[in-house]
Amino acid sequence: SMKMYHDLKQHFWWSGMKRDEAMFVSRCLICQQVKIEHQQASGNWDDYICLVEFAYNNSWHASIKCAPFEMLYGRKCRASICWDQVGKRVIEGPEMIEVTNEKVAVAKEKLKEARTHQKGYADKNRKSLEF
């Protein structure tokens, strides 16, 4: 309604123009259908983002054939908050880098397998183009 008012104001003016324009827009069916209702966020999405992240990281992914948490740590997550148990050996330094590199290599291999499978499926229905 304000855009229409400003556009009209550039070329025309009469007494009560803004009121008449607002009344016209309120009665115009097309003008009412064009307006988009913007939904307001509920305001508490940040309270749930940690749960969504947990669900994503602990869900099975077809591309790596396991959950990202399991791929990274080599075991399934048993609770929403995963604390190391007392007395458990903590990997530090070069050994940790080596273990992480091995896990990254396994993840890359599984992603390569998934990519090959998806490419085969896509190529199955593809026709070669001739010019």
Q: CA–CA separation, 109 vs 124, rounded Å?
A: 23
pLDDT of residue 123 exceeding 60, the answer is yes
In this prediction, residue 85 carries a pLDDT of 45
* Helix axis angle, 2-11 to 17-27, nearest 10°: 130
In this prediction, residue 13 carries a pLDDT of 84
Own/partner contacts of 97-100, CB < 8 Å, gap of 24 or more, are none
Q: What is the mean pLDDT of the chain?
A: 77
Query: Which percentage of the chain shows pLDDT scores above 90?
Result: 0
pLDDT of residue 15 exceeding 70, the answer is yes
pLDDT of residue 80 exceeding 70, the answer is no
In this prediction, residue 112 carries a pLDDT of 87
Looking up tokens 């273990």 gives 99
